[in-house]
Structure 1
Amino acid sequence: MSPYQRFYHWIATTPPLFECIAPFESLQKLAFSPTDTSDYSGNPRLGFLYQHLCTELLTNTSSYSVELEEVQINKDNGQTLGAIDLILNNHQTRRQEHWEVAIKFYLLHQGTWFGPNAHDQLDKKLKRMLTHQLKMSTTPEFLAQYPQLTGLSEHLLLQGRLYTNPFSPEPVPDKCLGLKLNQSQISGHWCYQHQWEQIGEPLYELDKPLWAIGQTEIGNPVEKPNGRFIHAQTASGQFWFVVPDSWPGKT
């Protein structure tokens, strides 16, 4: 199975970061067909690949078809308001739906979930998704472009993994912005560069397209990083971030 096929299967079977209460979505309930995505030639960045595979998966079910994808919304003066990921036709409810999809990785530090780039934080990302991204389909600018698409329901597919530091333990929140986190997705580890020796087993660095699924064939272990963050796995498949001692710095 190619990495793209493994990622496709991961998206279909992995719970989201939050418990599946509206607007949060999971694809686990869908009956999907396998796909041959080994010939993917689009943008290799993780977010683009993830959205492509989500779209592929949704359209490989009997429940959905894509009405619109990656819809740019602009003001009259040309200023960009943002983009809508997907407008889907739900063949079961016979309604149209606005979907936003994202894959994210966050590390718990002093009660806050930070991205490896610490300017990215789960609470800020979630607030923007709920109050800006999912509201794009109700803006006058969108409705002027697509007057037939009114009353769309809102759906958020937010997958990824949450990481805790076993060498600097702290209470693990069960909510973010009052919404319940999916405890099964708090499964990764992270540590500072100065805590490297405490890991106690070799790490194998992962290219970003493999952050979700890991490697099936490991190569040479990575040496202790110097001033950069790495995402890696052990031979048994445990995921680790190792971050510089200055992380998260000023945010």
Structure 2
Amino acid sequence: MPNYTVNASILTQFAQWIATTPPLFIGDEIIVQKLPFTHTDNLQINDYRGNSRLGFIYQHLCQELFTHCSPLAIEQTELQLNNEGRTLGELDFILRDPFSLDASHLAQHWEVAIKFYLLHQGRWYGPNAKDRLDKKLRHMLNHQLKHTHTPCFIEQYPQWQYLSQHLLMQGRLYINPFESHPIPRFCEGKEINVSQITGYWCYQKQFSQIDESLYQLDKSCWAIGAALTPELTAVTKPLQSILHCQSQSGRFWFIVPDNWPNNT
């Protein structure tokens, strides 16, 4: 994938968003609710040049925050687990908590993710409807975070055989204001943080019902939004298959094809 550039100003805003925005789920022994980032006001970040996928940018900023704004210390990032020449998986972060009173939590395995999901008929779908919140959460809890329990991992990294597991999942959840559906409180038995159900979505055929101007967002601004300047041109007709926009009032909107989520 070609290199993609995000300037330092946007990255700094994005990092502040990560450090202060509640996760998608109420916390438990694995799901993180209390964010481990402090004193971010003086964080200095250089321009990003790399993969354009938002998850890569998000993980890069988490690494910056763990490095400069967290009591947790990075021991390893993007740790690959291999067996007989085959890659079994990759761990986002191995962190060390030097202040933990629990010896079993001195070393920690963290997986991080940023996701955006749209409620449709009781399920949360990604803009690419092959992605669903229940599937993603199940994969993170039952696959990604289980790598450190495998004999292969323990054999290769015996110093980390007692890692605690932690999942940080941030993003935003969207509902269709032109349709009435009950909003689930749980997903895969985990309680959804309703404070993060702040976005709207609609079909292209419903676009004319939106009563304020929308402005398309670059993917690097999906989380934080963009400053609405006179130079920006409002979306008058959604020609692309999927649009992520910000309204004049600051509301986030997804506009999807009329056959979504059956178009993938």
Normalised to the residue count of structure 1, the TM-score between the two structures is 0.95
Aligned to 2:200, the other structure's residue is in SS state strand
Segments of structure 2 that go 5 or more residues without pairing to the other structure are 1-7
Greater shift, 117-126 or 89-98, is seen at: 89-98
Question: Residues 170-249 of structure 1 correspond to what in structure 2 (within 5 A)?
Answer: 170-218=181-229, 219-226=232-239, 228-249=241-262
Match of 1:111 among 113, 118, 122: 122
CA distance in 2, matches of 1:208, 1:9: 17
Contact kept in structure 1, 2:75 and 2:94, CA below 8 Å: yes
SS in 2 for 1:134: helix
State the AA in 2 paired with 1:70. E
Helix, strand or coil at the partner of 1:151: coil
Shift of the 162–46 alpha-carbon distance from structure 1 to 2, 3 Å rule, reads: same
Residue aligned with 2:77, SS: strand
User: Residues of 2 paired with 1:5 and 1:176: CA distance?
Assistant: 31
Structure 2 distance, partners of 1:98, 1:64, is: 11
For 1:60, give the aligned amino acid. H
Moved more, 38-47 or 146-155: 38-47
Match of 1:45 among 25, 40, 53: 53
User: Take 1:83 and 1:194, find their aligned partners in 2: how far apart are those partners?
Assistant: 41
CA distance in 1, matches of 2:166, 2:39: 19
Q: Secondary structure at the match of 1:35?
A: coil
Q: What displacement does 1:38 show? A: 3.6
Q: Name the CA distance, whole Å, in 2 between partners of 1:39 and 1:114.
A: 31
Match of 2:30 among 23, 28, 32: 23
| Matched position secondary structure for 2:160 | coil
The alignment covers a number of residue pairs equal to 250
Whole-Å separation in 2 of the counterparts to 1:223 and 1:129:
39
1:88-127 → structure 2 map (5 Å cutoff): 88-93=95-100, 95-127=106-138
RMSD: 1.6
Q: Secondary structure in 1 aligned to 2:124?
A: strand
For normalisation by structure 2, the TM-score amounts to 0.90
CA distance in 2, matches of 1:44, 1:92: 36
* 1:151 corresponds to: 162
Please state how far the C-alpha of 1:250 moved relative to its aligned partner: 6.4
Quick check: 1:226–1:244 contact (8 Å CA) kept in 2? no
Deviation of residue 167 (structure 1)?
0.4
Whether the aligned pair in 1 keeps the contact of 2:25 and 2:33 (CA below 8 Å) is no
- Please state how far the C-alpha of 1:226 moved relative to its aligned partner: 3.1
Structure 1 partner of 2:3: none
CA distance in 2, matches of 1:164, 1:10: 21
Once the two structures are TM-superposed, the CA of residue 227 in structure 1 deviates from its matched residue by 5.5
Q: Deviations over 1:127-148 (max 9, x none)?
A: 0000000011121222222111
**What are the superposed Cα offsets for residues 156-199 of structure 1, whole Å, 9 maximum, x if unpaired?**
00000000000012000011011100010000000000000001
- State the AA in 2 paired with 1:122: L
User: SS of the counterpart of 2:177?
Assistant: coil
From 10, 14, 18, give the equivalent of 1:11.
Answer: 18
Q: 1:83 to 1:62 in 2, by over 3 A?
A: closer
Q: Residues of 2 paired with 1:24 and 1:110: CA distance?
A: 25
Which amino acid counterpart does residue 73 of structure 2 have in structure 1?
S
Aligned-pair CA distance for 1:232: 0.3
Deviations 1:67-111 (A, max 9, x none): 0100111222x2221110000011211600000000000000000
Cα contact 1:97–1:155 (8 A) shared by 2: yes
- The question of whether the paired residues in 2 share the 8 Å contact of 1:107 and 1:162 is answered with yes
- The corresponding residue for 1:86 is 93
* Conservation of the 8 A alpha-carbon contact between 1:11 and 1:27: no
Q: Distance in 1 between matches of 2:179 and 2:216?
A: 22
Secondary structure of the residue aligned to 1:215 is: coil
Structure 1 Cα separation of the partners of residues 255 and 191 of structure 2: 27
